[in-house]
């Protein structure tokens, strides 16, 4: 899989969960060991993405972390609370 495929997968999972789909954005950052996907949603949708006790966020991370990229880096998903 490529970086664009992972980004599209995250959007496919998150957009149905939120009320304001236009506010969903993902910014990628690469460092030595990780490819960071920083997910931003509208402030009123943060709870929907995180879920009770973080269960929804953990389920999303479980799916995303199981992906292996063509490059030799690991994936990290950060939910950014602005």
What CATH architecture is 3-80? Answer: 2-Layer Sandwich (3.30)
**pLDDT per position as a tens digit, 49-82:** 999 999 999 999 999 999 988 888 899 999 998 7
Distance CA 74, CA 34 (A): 5
**pLDDT per position as a tens digit, 15-61:** 999 999 999 999 999 988 899 999 999 999 999 999 999 999 999 99
């Amino acid at each position: 899989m490529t970086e664009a495929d992972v980004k599209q997968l995250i959007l496919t999972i998150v957009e149905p969960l939120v009320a304001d789909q236009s506010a969903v954005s993902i910014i990628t950052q690469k460092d030595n060991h990780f490819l960071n996907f920083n997910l931003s949603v509208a402030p009123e949708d943060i709870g929907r993405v995180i879920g009770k006790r973080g269960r929804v966020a953990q389920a999303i991370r479980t799916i995303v972390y199981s992906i292996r990229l063509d490059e030799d880096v690991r994936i990290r998903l950060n939910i950014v609370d602005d």
